[in-house]
């Protein structure tokens, strides 16, 4: 089971931001349990498919929360290596540099260090996930019309954290023996966004080779 792997041992104490919990007993919690059970079978292509009779928005919401928690934990393990000195810009290799803007507090993109960028990014995602009008946790409360576009923006930004970890911090990931976790988590993420066409191919360019390598075995 992938999620118990993420929570085992001392790693669970080191998340970057507080973990986002889906309320127990809710339908979304049941969906999360379903996702975990199918992940346990090891077939990621099957695991990302919309369960029969379920609402796509709800399925995307549950998985977006789950990916936030996974990335939160993976980045949490390497924060000591991602500093103002080591990463003065937020990059994913020499060709890709990201500047932060959230459209509300920071309208004009600013150049900032990777730790600062990721802090902005994860705080912004957290605020979206905590917004009951965007991510309703109560049964019967409908998702807003713009839900899918918000979810796409969240996933596009979460991808950048994976891209930064792979390009700039893969050595510590190997030292910490986190490589299998990172690869499984990222592969799950990619299968999910591919299944529902949630991230533009151009955005995935920094990890294109890796994506091809990870997904070619499962065609």
Model pLDDT for residues 100-153, shown as the tens digit of each residue: 998 888 999 999 999 999 999 999 999 999 999 999 988 788 999 999 999 999
CA 199/CA 159 separation, integer angstroms: 9
**pLDDT computed for residue 139 by the predictor:** 76
Q: What is the mean pLDDT of the chain?
A: 90
- The residue to which tokens 């199918």 are assigned: 38
Question: 87 among the known binding-site residues?
Answer: yes
CA 76/CA 102 separation, integer angstroms: 22
Question: 164 among the known binding-site residues?
Answer: yes
Q: Map out the domains of the chain as residue ranges.
A: 32-214
CA 148/CA 180 separation, integer angstroms: 30
**pLDDT computed for residue 38 by the predictor:** 82
Copy the structure tokens of residue 27: 């339908």
CA dist 30 → 27, 44, 146, 211 (Å)? 5, 18, 24, 30
Are 20 and 68 spatial neighbours (Cβ–Cβ below 8 Å)?
Answer: yes
Question: 82 among the known binding-site residues?
Answer: yes
Q: State whether CATH 2.30.42.10 applies to domain 32-214.
A: no
> What's the mean pLDDT in 16-43?
86
**pLDDT computed for residue 39 by the predictor:** 80
Are 74 and 182 spatial neighbours (Cβ–Cβ below 8 Å)?
Answer: yes
What does DSSP assign to residue 97?
E
CA dist 184 → 30, 97, 211 (Å)? 22, 25, 12
Q: For 42-94, what is each residue's pLDDT tens digit?
A: 788 889 999 999 999 999 999 999 999 999 999 999 999 999 999 999 999 99
> What's the mean pLDDT in 209-215?
93
Are 29 and 22 spatial neighbours (Cβ–Cβ below 8 Å)?
Answer: yes
Q: For 142-186, what is each residue's pLDDT tens digit?
A: 999 999 999 999 999 999 999 999 999 999 999 999 999 999 999
**pLDDT computed for residue 170 by the predictor:** 96
Question: 7 among the known binding-site residues?
Answer: no
The continuous run of DSSP H or E covering 30 comes out as helix 27-40
């Amino acid at each position: 089971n992938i999620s118990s792997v993420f929570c085992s041992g001392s790693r669970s104490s080191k998340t970057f931001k507080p973990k986002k919990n889906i309320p127990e007993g809710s339908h979304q919690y049941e969906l999360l349990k379903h996702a975990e059970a199918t992940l346990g079978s090891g077939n990621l292509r099957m695991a990302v498919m919309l369960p029969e009779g379920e609402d796509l928005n709800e399925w995307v919401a549950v998985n977006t929360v789950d990916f936030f928690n996974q990335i939160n934990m993976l980045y949490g393990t390497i924060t000591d290596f991602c500093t103002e000195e080591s990463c003065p810009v937020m990059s994913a290799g020499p060709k890709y540099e990201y500047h932060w803007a959230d459209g509300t507090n920071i309208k004009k993109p600013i150049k900032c260090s990777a730790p600062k960028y990721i802090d902005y990014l994860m705080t912004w995602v957290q605020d979206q996930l905590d917004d009951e009008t965007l991510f309703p946790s109560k049964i019967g409360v409908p998702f807003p019309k713009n839900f899918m576009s918000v979810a796409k923006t969240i996933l596009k930004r979460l991808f950048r954290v994976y891209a930064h970890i792979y390009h700039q911090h893969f050595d510590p990931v190997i030292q910490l023996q986190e490589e299998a976790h990172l690869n499984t988590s990222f592969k799950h993420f990619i299968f999910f966004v591919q299944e529902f066409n949630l991230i533009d191919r151009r955005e995935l360019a920094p990890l294109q080779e890796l994506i091809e390598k990870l997904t070619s075995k499962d065609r």
